[in-house]
Amino acid sequence: MANRDGTGPNRMGPGSGRGLGPCGAGSNRGFGRGQGFGRRNPVGFTKEEEKEEIDRILKVYENEIEQLKKRLEELK
């Protein structure tokens, strides 16, 4: 919430944003240093650890895509 008043983006109500904040589905995702994107080998990651992390992230996104598809079908 930009104004911390519960109105959401453009005063359209809570849950009307992209879900990137701490209350949204994206609270644990991102494309910055925490996910390892943008670097070949993030500090402290071996190649095997980086592969495992990328696999974990892919599973998270695949699950999120499935949930979005299910919700889309519910709305039809």
47 lies in the same domain as 21: no
Q: Are 36 and 62 in a shared domain?
A: yes
DSSP secondary structure string for all residues of 19-65: S-STTSGGGG--SSGGGTTT-SS-TT--HHHHHHHHHHHHHHHHHHH
Q: How many domains does the chain have?
A: 2
Co-location of 9 and 36 in the same domain = no
What confidence tier does 45 reach under pLDDT thresholds 50, 70, 90?
confident
Assess whether 38 and 70 both reside in one domain.
yes
Residues 22 and 38 in one domain: no
Contact 42, 34 (CB under 8 A): no
Lowest mean pLDDT among 9-18, 19-28, 32-41: 32-41
Do 39 and 66 fall into the same domain? yes
Residue 35's identity, in one-letter code, is Q
Find the domain containing 62 and state its range. 31-75
Q: Is the pTM of this model over 0.75?
A: no
